[in-house]
Amino acid sequence: HQREDCPLDKDELGRSTWKLLHTIAATYSDKPSQEDQSNMEQFIRLIPKVYPCEICANDFAEMLVLLLIIDVLTYHPPNISSQKSFAKWMCEAHNMVNRKLEKPLFDCSKVNERWRDGWTDGHCD
């Protein structure tokens, strides 16, 4: 890991961004209003437009399109409709990047333990 007081490299930026994105998904409402959902949809769509790593942003934009097509084909309800579905969606988006980078895939059934509740053995309490 790089030093705390230096500009971020690609990996440090990625780690920090995933922390923010998963924590946003962890604290998203269980019953989001139309406005909550619209804000979140805009936020996600804007990431590839502003993310300061060009190759990451371009690929992520393509992944978003792919995830959207999968949702339509499998008749998934909109993924921003609840905390659980949004956290799972974010996990799947991260796994698409993991797959591309040949990193281990994360078990998305455990995403709320990792980012919201802490693990059942209590080591995060």
Contact positions toward ligand FAD, by CB under 6 A? 10-11, 14-15, 17-18, 22, 51, 55-56, 59-60, 91, 94-95, 97-98, 101, 103, 106, 111, 114
CB nearer ligand FAD, residue 1 or residue 75: 1
- Tokens for 29, please give them: 């409402």
- Residue 64: CB partners within 8 Å, gap ≥ 6? 44, 45, 48, 93
Q: What minimum distance in Å lies between the beta carbon of 33 and ligand FAD?
A: 25
- Residue 118: CB partners within 8 Å, gap ≥ 6? 124, 125
CB nearer ligand FAD, residue 14 or residue 32: 14
At residue 89, φ and ψ (nearest 5 deg) are -60, -45
CB nearer ligand FAD, residue 28 or residue 34: 28
